[in-house]
Structures are given as C-alpha cells and as structure tokens.
Amino acid sequence: WTQFNDPTLNQLVSEALQNGPTVQLAALRVREARAQNQATIGTTLPSLSAVASGAYSRNVDSPSHNEEMIGSYGPRVSWEVPLFGRFAAAIAGARANSLSARADERGAQVALVADVAQAYVDLRAAQNTRAALEELYQSANQLAGILDTSANAGIASPADAANAHRLAESTHARIADAVIAQRVAENRLAVLRGVTPGAENDAVRSALEAQHDTPTLPLAGAPAAPADLIRLRPDVARAEAQTLLAAAALADARANMLPQINLIGAITTSQNVIGSPLVGTSTVATAQPLITLPLFDWGAVRAQSRQRSAQFQESLIQYRQTVTQAVGEASNALVSLDQGRMRLDASRAAERAATTSDGGARAAYSAGLQSLADRLTADQQLIDARLARIGAEQAQASAAIATYRAFGGGPNLTTTRH
C-alpha cells in the first residue's frame, strides 16, 4: 500500500494493524498456539513431582484399641521412553499448529490492509465523483438560468430552457449516490480501525474530508507470477500447515498401536505420626518400568488410525486445491491490473478530448454557430468522460489491491516513479 505514496492511507493502515479487532484476535491465537507447542514439548521430557500419603489403622478387637498413622513422602520421577516416533509426531503436530496460527495472523493482516486500502480508494473516488458532479451541476444550472431569462424575453425557446434544466437536474440526482458511497466508505474505514463510526478524531476527520485525487499506481507493466510468490499467500501456508498437522496426527495414531514404556522412580520416606514409633526412619528407593501394550479394544485404535489416514488424504487434496485456486486468482489479478492500466490511459485521453470538444462547443454556441442541443450533448459527453476517468482510477487501484491480496502481501509492483 505504500506504493500509492499517500500519507493518509499509510496512517490509516498503521492504525488498523495496531487496533483492528481481527488482527488482535489472530495475534492471541498465535500466542495460544505457541503455549500449546511449549506444553507439548514439556510432555516429552521427564517429570518430577512430590508425593505424600498417609495410612491410618485401628485395632477394634483389641481391648486397648491400638491405633497408628503412618505418613510417607518423597519425590517421584516418571518418563515415557520415546519409541516409534510418538514424541516426534506430537512435536511436529504442535509446530504445525503454530505455523497454521501464524498463517492465519498473516491472512488477517493482509485482508485488513486490503480492506482499508479499498475503503480509502472508494472514499476518494466517491469524493471526486461528487465534486465533478457538483461542478457540472453548477455550470448546467447556470446555463439553465440564462435560458430561462432568454425564454422570458422571447430570445430562446422554452424547450431549450427545459432541456437545460433536464441536464442540470439529472446531474444533481446523481450526487446523492456519490454522497452515500462516501459515507459508507468513511464508516467502513472507522470499523476496520476499531473506531466507532462518527467518532473520528479531528486530525483524521480533516485528512479524510480534504479533497484528494484517487490513489493510482503508474505501472510500467504488470509483474509476473512466479510460483514462490504463491507460497506467500496465507491460505496456502495454512493449507500446508494443516497437511503437516494431519501427517503428525496419523503418525501418532499409528504409534498408539505399538507398546509404550514408562520408567518410574521414587524415593519414599515413612514416619509414624500416631502410635508406636517406627524403628528409625524408613527410606525406600524404587525404580520400575511400566510396559503398556494394546491387546484387545474392539478395533478402536485401528479405526482411529484409518480415520487419521483419511484425514491426511483429505488435507493433501485440500492443499492442492488451495494452490490451484491461488494460481488462478493471482493470474486473474494480474490480468485485471494490466487491463486496468490500459483502460485508465484510454479514459484520461477520452476526458482530454471531451474537454476540448466541450470548450469548442461552448465557443461555437456563444458565437451562434451551434445549436443548444449540440452544446448540451458536449456537456453530457464531458460528464460521462470525467466520471469514466474517475471510475477507471478506482478500478485500477482496486486491481492493485486485489493483486496485493492475491499474492498474500506481494509482489512489489514496478512503477514509473522508480
């Protein structure tokens, strides 16, 4: 967006990236994924815990009702031996989940920047359309007033005056649409930046209300679409991460069909709390392996493995589909960008020609060499040419924004300013 060389747009994008709700939510999901990744890594390492227990007993058959309470405490260490790639699959899955969250964050940023830029372009286009229509309305209304005076004096026909009023009022009616488009774009910019519509600060309001040309890129030519740029797209990166996550889940499901070995060690110190004291302090160190082997579970583990395998195949297909769609969208965006540049050049040339023609028609009408119909036709052609130029500027800027979105924030476009 900085290639538009518009300070107001740069400020709006910076505010949106800092305060936009969608970006804030995506950033929190990245933090969540990173925490989950750290938790998963922690489960693969030995764990140390403190264990304490107590046992109370009372002899109810004895006349003395002897009772005692023995307390035991000590550290305990447990560790699952990393066999059959179970831990590697868990870590790979956690990392893939983190990659997916970062891709979602990048996608939220790209979408937010593109939406802000598009709303800003729509705002400037609506303002310029409104200004052009108001200027032409004033000119047409002035001509209609002159013809009314001439018609009352018997110099001009009432039909000519009515025709001039028709052009003026038809131009005036189109101003309302431009005003609506301007207000919608202003509210959209506020919402995207996390601001309540109508509650803009004075500096931003003044910058938005100031008349400004529609941002355009004077491109030297449309860029190519190398395959590496497609991978910049957040949806492609997310699909790739989801494929890695599905592969990790499949590896974990297959590892669950194989034995698990846990090593457990403990040091237990026992003391008598109530009753006859023990002879000295009893401290016992133990170490034991625990082997778990699934034997019969009605096929649940194997069914889960088949489920993960199907999900992995689905993720591969979705990844290929995402890449194919990305290539198509990028190609379409580049075509629109190139054609938009040519359409903008043609519309500017047409406006220059219409301006020259309108000036000649005004001079010829004043000299009595052309009819009023020819004069009004030239005015209408100038209106259409000017609005077409504004629309072409808006379309060309929108095509550049679509290219930015299609390439996930790239590529940089080569402009004639460089």
| 227: pLDDT strictly greater than 70 | no
Whether residue 63 is contained in a domain is answered as: no
- 417 lies in some domain: no
- pLDDT at residue 417, as a whole number: 43
> pLDDT digit string (tens) for 217-226?
765 454 555 5
Distance set, CA 363 to CA 145, 162, 167, 168, 268 (Å): 18, 21, 19, 20, 109
Count structural domains, the chain: 1
What strands lie across the sheet with 260-274, from one edge to the other?
47-58, 67-80, 260-274, 282-292
Confidence class of residue 213 from pLDDT cuts 50, 70 and 90? confident
pLDDT exceeds cutoff 60 at 186: yes
pLDDT single digits (tens) 328-372: 888 888 888 888 888 988 999 999 998 888 888 888 878 877 776
- Give a yes or no: residue 58 inside a domain: no
Confidence of residue 2 (pLDDT cuts 50, 70, 90): confident
Whether the Cβ atoms of residue 244 and residue 78 lie closer than 8 Å to each other = no
Q: Can you give the CATH number for the domain in which 303 is found?
A: 1.20.1600.10
Q: What's the whole-number mean pLDDT along residues 288-305?
A: 84
Q: Are 117 and 9 in contact (CB under 8 A)?
A: yes
Residue 314's pLDDT band, with cuts at 50, 70 and 90, is very high
Average pLDDT, stretch 58-72?
Answer: 69
Residue 322 has pLDDT above 60, yes or no: yes
What average pLDDT does the segment 394-406 reach? 88
Give the model confidence (pLDDT) of 13-64 as tens digits: 888 888 888 888 888 888 888 888 888 877 778 888 888 887 777 776 666 5
Q: How far apart are alpha carbons 394 and 387 in whole angstroms?
A: 11
Give the closest residue to 348 by CA, choosing from 340, 336, 338, 360. Answer: 340
Contact 215, 9 (CB under 8 A): yes
Residue 265: which of 240, 284, 288, 247 has the closest Cα? 288
Angle 21-43/86-152 helices, nearest 10 degrees? 180
d(CA 104, CA 256): 31
pLDDT of 414 reads 47
Per-residue pLDDT band at 149 (split at 50, 70, 90): confident
**What is residue 2's DSSP assignment?**
G
| Average pLDDT, rounded, for the chain | 82
For the ranges 4-13, 148-157, 384-393, the lowest mean pLDDT is seen at 148-157
Query: If pLDDT is split at 50, 70 and 90, which confidence band does 412 have?
Result: low
Nearest to 128 by CA among 3, 216, 189, 7: 216
Whether 392 maps to a domain, the answer reads yes
Q: Note whether residue 415 is domain-resident.
A: no
The answer to whether residues 121 and 401 touch, using CB atoms and an 8 Å cutoff, is yes
Q: Indicate the pTM of the whole model.
A: 0.76
Pairwise CA distance, residues 219 & 233, whole Å: 23
Fill in the amino acid letter for 407. Answer: F
Q: Is residue 203 part of a domain?
A: yes
Per the structure, the complete domain to which residue 134 belongs is given by 2-49+71-272+280-406
* Domain assignment present for 64: no
Where does the pLDDT of residue 289 fall: very low under 50, low under 70, confident under 90, or very high at 90 and above? Answer: confident
